[in-house]
Chain A
Amino acid sequence: MEINQEILKKYASGECSEAEKHAVEKWLDNNSWDSIAENNHVDELVGSDMWNKINADVYRYRKFHWAKITAAAAVLVIGFSVFYLSPPALDNHTFTNTSIENSKLFTEDHYDLQLSKNSTANIDLVNKKLTFSGDFMITPKRDFELVDSNHNVLVFKAGREYFVSDSPDFGKIVAFQKSDLAFLPSNMQIKIREQFQSI
């Protein structure tokens, strides 16, 4: 099925058939170079409208899955309604991954986090502080800044993906945007890829 802007618009507004929905999701998730067919011009207004709808759609999609997994827990349904009514407050979480082989995924209100093997991280959005050891990939759902243990300000923007590491091989604590990783020596890229397959 050809992916074009008409189908993407339908996808964003939830009007796709199952087959079309499947095709769009496959396109988004694949690792090929398939390009989208551009038959018509989309102006900025439509683009911005669509982005809002996409955001809403993603929100629904995520919650659907979460709800499915925890379907029996009625208390969460109440939690959901509270969640929908007011934006979640800034939080402070500590993450630990003691595995010596695999990374671990955490889904939070304000970001998703993939913590590397043998790593810990404390992300304190309230006090804008980051303390960690090891490496992680973080995908913020809102813009925020964190100050690391060396008093460097690390800037995180919603929707982007960052690789954060305290390895001395980089010279200092780094928060690289994913595309920055393409500039590292290939051996470094391969080692990072071994831990975070999604890059």
Chain B
Amino acid sequence: MKRLVLLSFLATFIFSCKQISNKNIEPDFVFCLFNKDESPTSLFFSESLEDTRQPTLQIPLSSSRIQEREYIYKNGFFYRLSSQTSVFTKHRLQGSSLVLIDSIQLKNRDFETITWKDDNNLIALCREDLIAKKAQARLYQINVAEMKIIKEDTITLPFATKEYNALHLGLVDIENNNLWLAYSFFKSRGKYGHTTSDTTYYATINYPSFTLQQIQKETRSTYPGGFNIIQSYSFKDELGDYYFMTNPGIALGNNLRLPTAIFRKKKGQQLVDQHFMINISKAIGNHAYGIWYVGNGKAIVRNEQKNLYTDFSNYHAVYQFEYRLVDLKSGSIERIPLPLDKGTQKENVWSDKKDVYIAIDDANDEHRVWKYNLQTKEISKGIQLPNSTNFIVRMDYLKK
């Protein structure tokens, strides 16, 4: 069965070969594309985000799993954890191919949240097996230059209840010897559904001794962060202050009574600022997912529109997503007049602090980057992606 599907993918790839440049290019950006005909997910490299006739390169990925968009890009390398084999791999673009550089075997299949301790050391957290019915997280510190596990350990996080016993590890930050984790608990509902409890917990843990130092309870919102190798939910500003978002909407936490909100943990502090909260849901009447810093105290959020979807059957497919500019100081929120976008949890916003570039799949079946000037508020068109595209699920800057 799989062979037939894969071979049909292969044939489609051959049909689409016309779009593939044979030249080696020096790309600054990469897009991850889901295609209309279910041909393999592909990586599309371009030299800029502008609407010019620049050389591009499209590489189909051999695998046809649904986790293809879940990769990490850092300093010229792509990293990926296989959900089938738990092998963590390192790849590089070489000429017009993605080349496997190295791999290591891990015990877990999915990263839930990651951060970088420094340029070479990845901190990745996974949820431990739920069968144990204990709220356990597994932490890996991987030196990606040497592709070696430097440290791995299990962390038991308190406050699971009999009812809400499944752990969601939403955010991780590391500063000096302090590992800071934001988490919440959820329970299954029905065969595939779930809902999150009303409380978020922030744990400070000494690293690398793993001694639990303190836990702060948060009841203003729930479901902190999310799977940040799929979408961004936190950032540090110029001062090093850490901002993050909670996502209790249907697409992530599914506890609709609580609002999507932005919170802050100031540099050098281990406690979340109880005087700071930007209540997105109250301001716009909808939940949002994904936050991207664009400089000068401003961030972009991506919000759903509850009057445009009915349920999960069409949530990802309807053109409903809007982009808003949030002023972190005043809390004011301004809608950017862009075409409505589709697709859940996309990583598709990048800024050079002068313009914001947003990749949108619009109702005219145009798959394009739009440019928003932060000074003049002018909107212009950027690069257009191939017509075979169904969803632009990621856009990464390659010079970071």
Contacts and interface: CB of A to CB of B under 8 A. Distances in A.
Contact of B194 (A33, A36, A187): A187
A28 B2 CA distance: 9
Interface residues of A, number: 70
Given A159-B4, A198-B2, A170 B38 contact: no
B252 interface: yes
Interface string B80-104: 1011110001010000111110000
Given A33-B89, A160-B5, A170-B312, A183 B62 contact: no
Interface in B239-284: 251-252, 254
A54 interface: yes
A66 to B, nearest CB: 13
A37 B97 CA distance: 6
B307 interface: no
B222 to A, nearest CB: 14
B363 interface: no
A139 B166 CA distance: 33
A61 interface: yes
Interface stretch (B9-17, B114-122, B324-332, B377-385): B9-17
A131 to B, nearest CB: 19
Contacts of B14: 5, 8, 42, 46-47, 50-51
Interface in B15-65: 15, 17-18, 20, 22, 34, 37-38, 41, 59-65
B313 A8 contact: no
A185 B1 contact: no
B234 interface: no
A199 to B, nearest CB: 5
Contacts of A13: none
A114 B98 contact: no
B194 A185 contact: yes
Interface residues of B, number: 73
Given A29-B6, A35-B60, A169-B193, A193 B1 contact: no
Contacts of A61: 3
A192 B66 CA distance: 11
A72 to B, nearest CB: 25
A47 B38 contact: no
A139 B5 contact: yes
Interface stretch (B146-154, B184-192, B212-220, B297-305): B184-192
A50 B15 CA distance: 10
A58 to B, nearest CB: 5
Contact of A167 (B65, B68, B191): B191
Given A51-B15, A178-B64, 16 more contacts: A29-B3, A34-B100, A39-B22, A41-B17, A42-B14, A54-B10, A159-B4, A159-B5, A169-B193, A171-B311, A179-B391, A183-B345, A184-B316, A188-B193, A189-B67, A199-B65
Top 3 nearest A-B pairs (CB, nearest first) are A171-B311, A159-B8, A183-B316
Interface of A: 3, 5, 8, 25, 27-44, 46-48, 50-51, 54-55, 57-58, 61, 105, 107, 112, 114, 139, 141, 158-161, 165, 167-172, 174, 177-193, 197-199
20 contacts: A8-B14, A25-B3, A28-B7, A38-B97, A40-B22, A41-B22, A42-B17, A46-B14, A47-B17, A159-B4, A160-B38, A165-B192, A168-B190, A172-B311, A174-B312, A182-B66, A184-B192, A186-B230, A190-B110, A199-B65
